[in-house]
């Protein structure tokens, strides 16, 4: 009786999975989908969309739609990594590899209750093969907020390391001998995993500068719950070898010397007395994803001592704390250096442009902004599960909702040539005397059409349509062979026997 019960339960669970599987040729996949509400085809960048809907902790079999995904510009699914990775996949990011081909990197591990990652990093090529595991040699696990290639064989990432700290110096703290997170920047050789640069926040940035002292009342009492005074969430290395970082809990950006680790300058709208005067409309708080912006990409000319930065301005936290305004936004700011001309004179920060959703719905965590090659601006809205593309002037030309939050969202040129073969399901229905084919190839972005053969005779050809192409053929076809065609070449071949439902 027990065995019968187990069999019935297993059968019912499998039936539920089959019912929710959207593709007949890949019933093992429960991928995310984009619900596109705005798409101005002639203005949207044709680059691919990279997202990773995620959930904290281990991914259970019952959870759907999670993992790294790639979509075409119109929202059509190209590749899903659903079910391939056993832990939370966060920060799925494309970058240009040695041969100009797009490579991908992401964090995989667990995400703690406080929004801190505990894991390592994986890199893949455009065949979806793992090329590198990064961050394995350290004696501690690393954070999900940042993993970014800095060269052909180097990458930089973030780590939160609990260390003892005298908390009694702060009246807000409920603890005397407490713990804080030392936020660490590490750059490694991705071939050997050897460290080439490392920076520890406690050596350079005071805990007392934090904007979240109220959290000292409940955090900081043990190494399992350290006080997160900085919350490092983005790192970018520039052509000078220096690092620009974003620190959410300080409302600050820091520019760090890549040789000495010294702070070159601080841009803050919080408690820190920084090196910049910031216009009221250029202030930010609880921000993410600070990146340099090339002037030419936003229609500006190069100017001496002038730089541009994009960042996602959250303005809120999950506990309801608010910085300067009531809505989140993507923003581009202009920095005119003062220290470069006069060491006693502060630089000037002004707002170039802000980007908002029509709803102004809160995004109290996560988020990203990317200035694209064509000048458009692509934004991921974090826990508000929406991605959007804007013209430089702010107009929304693409908007889509997701089934789950994605920490960041990116666009990039990409050509996928998966090592795994195409999938085919062929079924014959006697009542209609029809053989129906379901054809898909997860990750194969360059397929244009399918050429269909039966018992070595050509039957028909049909354009690739969506992730899965459905084709009805008159009569019974005992076996099916298919060539995937793209750019005038055969990209793949597979064959199956037809399932006869009679």
* pLDDT number for residue 341: 58
Beta bridge partners of 291: 310
Instruction: Assign domain 35-412 to a CATH class.
Output: mainly beta
Q: pTM value? A: 0.94
Q: Which of 233, 216, 271 is nearest to 365 (CA)?
A: 233
SS3 264: strand
How far apart, in whole angstroms, are the C-alpha atoms of residue 143 and residue 84?
21
CATH, domain range 423-500:
2.60.40
* pLDDT number for residue 13: 37
How far apart, in whole angstroms, are the C-alpha atoms of residue 213 and residue 181?
14
* pLDDT number for residue 502: 78
Beta strands in 224-346 (DSSP E): 232-237, 243-247, 252-256, 263-268, 276-278, 288-292, 306-313, 329-336
234-259 tens-digit pLDDT:
999 999 999 999 999 999 999 999 99
Whether the CA torsion 203, 347, 354, 150 is positive or negative: it is negative
* pLDDT number for residue 16: 39
Q: Which of 434, 427, 426, 433 is nearest to 473 (CA)?
A: 434
* pLDDT number for residue 125: 96
Please, are residues 157 and 243 in contact by the beta-carbon 8 Å criterion?
no
Using the CB atoms, write b or e for 203-217: b if 16+ within 10 Å. Answer: eebebebbbbbebbe
Element (H, E) at 13: helix 2-20
> What is the spatial order of strands in the sheet that 423-429 belongs to?
468-474, 434-440, 423-429, 499-500
Q: What is the C-alpha R_g of the chain?
A: 25
How far apart, in whole angstroms, are the C-alpha atoms of residue 379 and residue 381?
6
Which tokens in the block code for residue 204? Answer: 């350079």
Please, are residues 403 and 55 in contact by the beta-carbon 8 Å criterion?
no
* pLDDT number for residue 343: 66
What are the φ/ψ torsions at residue 437 (nearest 5 degrees)?
A: -110, 140
The three-state (H, E, C) secondary structure of 146-201, written as one string: CEEEEECCEEEEEEEEEEEEEHHHCCCCCCCEEEEEEEEEEEEECCCCCEEEEEEH
Please, are residues 201 and 186 in contact by the beta-carbon 8 Å criterion?
no
* pLDDT number for residue 114: 73
Task: Enumerate residue ranges in the chain where pLDDT < 70.
Answer: 1-19, 57-62, 113, 339-343
* pLDDT number for residue 339: 66
**35-412 and 423-500 in the same fold:** no
CA distances from 392 to 307, 382, 389, 482 (A): 17, 21, 10, 44
Domain boundaries, the chain: 35-412, 423-500
86-135 tens-digit pLDDT:
778 999 999 988 788 899 999 999 987 678 999 999 999 999 999 999 99
Nearby residues of 474 by Cβ (< 8 Å), 6 or more positions away: 433, 434, 435
CA distances from 272 to 82, 277, 334, 447, 477 (A): 43, 12, 20, 54, 73
């Amino acid at each position: 009786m027990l065995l019968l019960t187990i069999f019935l339960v297993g059968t019912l669970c499998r039936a539920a999975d089959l019912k929710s599987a959207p593709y007949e040729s890949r019933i093992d996949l429960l991928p995310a989908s984009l619900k596109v509400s705005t798409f101005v085809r002639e203005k949207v960048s044709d680059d691919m969309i990279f997202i990773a809907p995620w959930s904290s902790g281990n991914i259970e079999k019952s959870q759907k739609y999670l993992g790294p995904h790639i979509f075409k510009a119109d929202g059509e699914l190209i590749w899903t990594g659903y079910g391939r990775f056993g832990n939370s996949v966060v920060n799925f990011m494309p970058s240009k590899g040695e041969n100009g081909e797009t490579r991908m990197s992401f964090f995989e591990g667990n995400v703690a209750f406080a929004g801190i990652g505990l894991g390592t990093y994986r890199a893949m090529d455009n065949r979806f093969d793992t090329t590198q595991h990064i961050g394995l040699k350290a004696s501690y696990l690393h954070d999900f907020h940042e993993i970014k290639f800095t060269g052909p064989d180097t990458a930089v990432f973030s780590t939160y390391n609990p260390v003892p700290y005298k908390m009694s110096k702060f009246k807000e703290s409920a603890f005397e001998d407490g713990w804080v997170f030392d936020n660490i920047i590490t750059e490694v050789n991705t071939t050997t995993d050897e460290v080439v640069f490392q920076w520890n926040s406690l050596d350079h940035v005071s805990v007392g500068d934090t904007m979240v002292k109220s959290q000292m009342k409940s955090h900081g009492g043990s190494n399992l719950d350290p006080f997160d005074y900085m919350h490092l969430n983005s790192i970018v290395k520039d052509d000078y070898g220096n690092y620009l970082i974003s620190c959410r809990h300080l409302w600050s950006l820091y520019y760090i010397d890549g040789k000495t680790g010294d702070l070159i300058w601080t841009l803050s709208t919080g408690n820190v007395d920084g090196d910049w005067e910031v216009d009221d409309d250029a202030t930010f708080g609880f921000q993410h994803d600070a990146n340099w912006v090339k002037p030419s990409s936003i229609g500006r000319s190069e100017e001496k001592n002038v730089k541009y930065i994009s960042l996602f301005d959250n303005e809120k936290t999950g506990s309801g704390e608010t910085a300067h305004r009531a809505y989140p936004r993507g923003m581009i700011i202009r920095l005119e250096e003062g220290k470069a001309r006069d060491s006693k004179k502060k630089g000037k920060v002004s707002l170039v442009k802000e980007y908002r959703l029509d709803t102004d719905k809160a995004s109290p965590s996560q988020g990203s902004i990317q200035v694209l090659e064509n000048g458009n601006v692509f934004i991921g809205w974090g826990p508000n599960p929406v991605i959007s593309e804007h013209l430089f002037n702010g107009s929304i030309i693409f908007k889509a909702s997701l089934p789950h939050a994605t920490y960041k969202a990116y666009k990039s040129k990409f050509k996928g040539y998966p090592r795994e073969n195409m999938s085919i399901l062929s079924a014959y229905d006697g009542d209609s005397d029809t053989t129906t084919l379901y054809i898909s190839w997860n990750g194969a972005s360059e397929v244009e059409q399918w050429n269909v053969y039966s018992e070595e005779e050509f039957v028909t050809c049909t354009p690739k349509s969506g992730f899965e192409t459905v084709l009805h053929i008159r009569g019974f076809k005992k076996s099916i062979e298919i060539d995937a065609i793209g750019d005038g070449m055969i990209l793949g071949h597979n064959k199956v026997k037809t399932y006869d439902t009679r």
